[in-house]
Structure 1
């Protein structure tokens, strides 16, 4: 049974909003429910993450610190895809420096920083094999970027992935 209460975070998100949850991907707020966990009743956002076919519960009182954000808009997509296809990469970093910087970028959940991680790692991968840690980071970052592009544009993951491969298609958005 879903019980909806009004709180100070109501202005942040509402049921039906498309959100981006860092390290998990794009999702939809399906509800707000009271749950008893370890003897304490709290209100939780119920978020469906289609990319992993997963449901996440986040306590309302922790939502501000979760780095969840609304998905980007169409203008942001255009800017991000331009940065993705035309932005500069720093090739002077060692893999350890790059991994630390990229990990920090991914934790922010910012659309642009996720796109930069994918762009830079894809460029490196085109020149040489990535180590297993960076390969896994690229796979995860790409899934999150594709999931957000897909939700924003209402397109499949395959179509969203093609926007990353094809600068002409990306420019046509």
Structure 2
């Protein structure tokens, strides 16, 4: 869905926190030159919250979806997205909804992930979540809570509590 405009490459320094769309929050531990498949290039080496390390080519960071942690203001907007009353995906049957929610998570957009989290939390109060629904909820929560906590400068547990309260009120 590119309009032909080149993506602006984010620039990170060692020690910067960033968000990988598939893995969540990480920290740039080093920027190294590596030879892979006969070509040499510069790579961000990220250490993720779960201890895993990921290499992202510096020149392809934007295509990968690597981005800085959201700002405090963006975090407020994401929280507002979660408070919204609408439902993000209104498709039937469940397999289509599941696919749509999975794509929203894969997008790496905090707003899209917030919509998945919101919809799964709401569903959870209507019925027992299926295995797939629980997985979506856990995945969305895992990707979003840590970033929101960083953006709002609060412990992750406090952010999780605040979000849970949002859906019990």
Contact 1:80–1:111, Cα closer than 8 Å, also in 2: yes
Mean Cα deviation higher: 110-119 or 92-101: 92-101
Moved over 3 A (4+): 36-41
Q: Distance in 1 between matches of 2:151 and 2:133?
A: 27
Counterpart position of 1:59 = 57
Residues 64-79 of structure 1 correspond to what in structure 2 (within 5 A)? 64-79=62-77
Task: Give the conservation status (yes or no) of the 8 Å contact 2:47–2:53.
Answer: yes
- Show the 5 A alignment for 1:1-173: 9=9, 12-50=11-49, 52-89=50-87, 92-94=90-92, 95-167=94-166
The whole-number CA distance in structure 1 between the counterparts of 2:162 and 2:19 is 19
Name the SS for the 1:100 alignment partner: helix
What root-mean-square deviation, in Å, do the aligned CA atoms of Structure 1 and Structure 2 show? 2.1
Q: Which secondary structure does the structure 2 equivalent of 1:12 belong to?
A: coil
Q: What is the TM-score of this pair, normalised by structure 1?
A: 0.81
Q: How far apart, CA to CA, are the structure 1 residues paired with 2:88 and 2:45? A: 39
Q: List alignment gaps of at least 5 residues for structure 1.
A: 1-7, 168-173
Q: TM-score, normalised by structure 2?
A: 0.82
Unaligned runs of 5+ in 2: 1-7
1:91 deviates by 7.3
Give the Cα–Cα distance (whole angstroms) in 2 for the partners of residues 59 and 148 of structure 1: 22
